Structure formats: structure tokens, C-alpha cells
Amino acid sequence: MLSLEINGLEMRYPGLAAPVLAIDRLQVPAGTRLCITGASGSGKSTFVNAITGLERIRHGSVSWNGTDLTRLSAGGRDAFRARHIGLVMQDFHLFPGLSAFENVVLPVRLARRLTSTEAQRARFLLDVTGIARPQQRIETLSRGEMQRVAVARALLLKPGVIVADEPTASLDSQAGEQVSELLVRLSREERATLIVVTHDPALAARLDRHIRLVAGAIVEDKEGVQAP
């Protein structure tokens, strides 16, 4: 499980006077189930990009269990993310032409040989996420099933943290409910910190710490289960 520590983080884009995201100090202990909310354009995705190393950080620092992402090269951040962060995105980013199973193991296969333990775990995760036929071609799955495959993929290497950016936004309420339940349950079972950006009250209600962003700044940080 990973803990997050942010200090003096500022994300700016060229042509914008004010930073899109400015977080002076934030600590997320390992095992926290954190919910980030905020209006559109408030900097939620920018926050995700910063803490997962998808975007380079120029001001401040972001550390996971003491590993400072700002000290890593782009390749180093990619490697760190691959090893420690399970990412779930609004658009599932699954690859057509491959089966559900192949999609789950694709990131590993692109890096190296898949071990039999990993193959077994992939099948286990697909089973846990309720995908009955792992060999089914991904484009023939329902949207809810697709996002569940994406969750299985995020968990393959037992990441210390699961980061999800609007995981239910493109699903209907029932499928969204299943994915929400899965994320919370698996993060607990797999002993991973969970950070979720969402507008979905049902999902937010399952999480135990809520941060609200306005114009890139934290305006609210509450512990305890509650609707935003």
C-alpha cells in the first residue's frame, strides 16, 4: 500500500496566468479511499496526471512512500506507474482485436514475458470482476463489462494504489454501481490505496475521505462517508 505526500505542487499550462492546480500540502495515508470532486475544469484530471506521473511536474513534489516522482525521468515515471499504480480511466482504453484476457495482460506482455503466476492472476481477476468468458473479443463486451476488464487490468501487478478518473461517468447507473462496488471491494481485498475522481454520488458515498477542488485549489477536505 502506498501513501501520498504532495508539497508545493503547481501545475501550469502555457498561456494561462493562474495555475490549473495548486496544492500546497496534502497527505494521503496508505489504505485511504479518497474521493476527489469538483466542477468541470477545476483541475481533477490534472491532479490525476500529476500524481500518476503522466505529466511532468515543474513546481513542487509528489512522493509515493518517499519516492519523489519529480526526480524521475519520463521513462522512470512510466516504469514506476507500471509497477505501483493501477490506472482506471473514463474511456476504458481497451484494445480491439484482442480478447478480454489479452487486454488484461497486454501492458505486461509489451514489457516482458508473462509469468504463469501472472496469467493465473489475470484469470482470477477476470473471474472476480465477473467476466465469464476471458477469451471473448473485447469489442463484443458491454460497456460495464469493459470497465470491469479495465479494473482487472489495473490490479494485475498488485499495485499499491488504484487511481481512477471518472470510472463510472460513461456507464449507466447499474453498471456504474457494479464498478463502484468492485473498486472499493478490491482495493480493500488487494490492500491498495484508492484515489477516485468522480461526479457520481453513489461512488463518492462508498469512499471515506472527500476533497473538493475549486479552480485548482483544495477548498474542502472531509473525513467520513458522506455525499458530496
Partner 1 sequence: MIRFILADLRRFGGGALSVVILIALSVALSVAVTLQERAVRLGSARAAEKFDLLVGAPGSETQLALSAVFLQPAPLPLMSGKVLAKLAADPRVALAAPVGFGDSSFGFPIVGTTTALISALSPQLADGLPFSRLADAVVGADVPLKTGAEVKPMHGSVETGGETHTQIIYRVVGRMAPTRTAWDRAILVPIRAVWGLHGMAGAEAHAHEGETHGDEEPGHAHGQGDEHPAGSEPAGEHGLPAHPEAHGPQDDDEADEHGHVHGHVDADAPLDEHFDAQTPGVPAVLVKPKTIADAYRLRQEYRSETTLAVFPAEVLTRLYATLGDARSLLLAIAVGTQGIVIAAILLVATMHIGARKRQIGALRALGAPMRAVVILVWGELFVLFLAGIGLGGLIGLVTAQLISARLTAATAVHLPVEFAQEDWRLAIGFVVAAAVVSLVPALGALRLSPAAALRS
Ligand X SMILES: Nc1ncnc2c1ncn2[C@@H]1O[C@H](COP(=O)(O)OP(=O)(O)OP(=O)(O)O)[C@@H](O)[C@H]1O
Residues in contact with partner 1 by CB under 8 A are: 49, 52, 54-56, 74-75, 78-79, 81-83, 87, 89, 93, 95-98, 102, 106-111, 153, 157
Question: Among Mg ion, ligand X, partner 1, none, what does residue 147 contact (CB within 5–8 Å per kind)?
Answer: none
**Phi and psi dihedrals of 171, rounded to 5?**
-115, 155
Instruction: In angstroms, give the least distance from the CB of 163 to Mg ion.
Output: 12
Of 160 and 228, which CB lies nearer to ligand X in the complex structure?
Answer: 228
Of 156 and 204, which CB lies nearer to partner 1 in the complex structure?
Answer: 156
Of 66 and 96, which CB lies nearer to partner 1 in the complex structure?
Answer: 96
Question: Sign of the C-alpha dihedral, residues 181, 182, 186, 189?
Answer: positive
> What does the alpha-carbon distance between residue 22 and residue 12 come to, in Å, rounded to a whole number?
9
Instruction: In angstroms, give the least distance from the CB of 37 to partner 1.
Output: 20
Question: Among Mg ion, ligand X, partner 1, none, what does residue 23 contact (CB within 5–8 Å per kind)?
Answer: none
Question: Among Mg ion, ligand X, partner 1, none, what does residue 42 contact (CB within 5–8 Å per kind)?
Answer: ligand X
Whether residue 85 contacts residue 121, with contact meaning beta carbons closer than 8 Å, is answered with no
Whether residue 160 contacts residue 192, with contact meaning beta carbons closer than 8 Å, is answered with yes
CA nearest neighbour of 47 among 17, 20, 15: 20
Q: β-strands 67-68, 59-64: how paired?
A: antiparallel
DSSP β-bridge partners for residue 193: 161
DSSP β-bridge partners for residue 137: 99
227: exposed, middle or buried (Cβ count in 10 Å: 0-12, 13-18, 19+): exposed
Instruction: In angstroms, give the least distance from the CB of 44 to Mg ion.
Output: 5
Question: Among partner 1, Mg ion, ligand X, none, what does residue 13 contact (CB within 5–8 Å per kind)?
Answer: ligand X
Interface residue with Mg ion among 32, 37, 42, 45 (CB under 5 A) is 45
**Phi and psi dihedrals of 150, rounded to 5?**
-65, -35
Q: Does residue number 42 form part of the binding site for Mg ion (CB under 5 A)? A: no
Question: Among partner 1, ligand X, Mg ion, none, what does residue 98 contact (CB within 5–8 Å per kind)?
Answer: partner 1
Q: Which residues bind Mg ion (CB under 5 A)?
A: 45
